């Protein structure tokens, strides 16, 4: 059984016991999180596709840790103007472990 969920503006294909890195989720490590935005649910040969979400389906997860992504450098240079700008950015991320998928498929 697997599901396609939407969190943080991105879509992820998840199954039980998967570890995924998503955009920052509020909570402390060890907390349980329920993700209600299930786009598709597949259980063996039956497939349920939501419009836009599957009614009554949710994915249960546990927060493992909060981390940060790699540093991304945004460098802008305007030629012949003696003008440049260098900015760095690190995205806040959360590592979660999928504990179960609930919902009728």
Domain total of the chain: 1
* Residue 77 located in a structural domain: no
Q: What is the pLDDT of residue 83?
A: 97
User: pLDDT category, 104, cuts 50, 70, 90?
Assistant: low
Structural domain range at position 30: 2-66+95-102
**Tens of pLDDT, residues 6-47:** 999 999 999 999 999 999 999 999 999 999 999 999 998 999
Please tell me the distance from the alpha carbon of residue 26 to that of residue 94, in angstroms, as a whole number.
9
- The three-state secondary structure class of 81 is coil
Model pTM?
Answer: 0.85
pLDDT at 105 over 60: no
* Residue 43 located in a structural domain: yes
Please tell me the distance from the alpha carbon of residue 105 to that of residue 50, in angstroms, as a whole number.
11
User: pLDDT category, 103, cuts 50, 70, 90?
Assistant: confident
């Amino acid at each position: 059984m697997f599901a396609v969920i939407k969190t943080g503006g991105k879509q992820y294909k998840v199954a039980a016991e998967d570890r995924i890195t998503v955009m920052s989720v509020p909570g402390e490590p060890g907390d349980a999180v329920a993700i209600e935005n299930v786009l598709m649910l597949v259980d063996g040969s039956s497939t349920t596709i939501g419009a836009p979400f599957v009614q009554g389906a949710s994915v249960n997860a546990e927060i493992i840790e909060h981390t940060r992504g790699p540093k991304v450098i945004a460098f802008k240079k305007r030629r012949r103007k003696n003008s440049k700008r260098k900015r760095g950015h690190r995205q806040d991320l959360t590592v979660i472990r999928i504990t179960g998928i609930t919902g009728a498929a």
